[in-house]
Amino acid sequence: MLDILGRVFGRDDAPSKEIAKERLRLVLVHDRATVSPQFLELIKEEVIGVITGYMDIDEDGVEVSIHSMDKSVALVANIPIRRMKRAVKAV
């Protein structure tokens, strides 16, 4: 019982400011990315530019988005491949 109370009030955990900092870091990654949809569009364009050098992709099908999970935030790109170029094998 005492143990549970200790945990609820964070006595065994990191100092609460560390928790605050970590939560802020995550929320701001998300906020800052969502503030400008142009930002994601920019990344998408550049990713397409890089990938097309190696494979034939469906450019209209490319999706770039920000996903927040429990303890991290990820940039997720979904890039449908139409065909691999032969050169890729040689690399």
Binding-site ranges for other proteins (CB under 8 A): 15-18, 20-21, 23-25, 27-28, 31-32, 35
Output 16 or 68, the one with its CB closest to other proteins: 16
Output 34 or 65, the one with its CB closest to other proteins: 34
How far is the C-alpha of 31 from the C-alpha of 26, rounded, in Å? 9
Smallest distance from the beta carbon of 14 to other proteins, in angstroms?
Answer: 8
Q: Give me the DSSP letters along 39-67.
A: HHHHHHHHHHHHHTTTEEE-GGG-EEEEE
SS3 78: strand
Output 16 or 52, the one with its CB closest to other proteins: 16
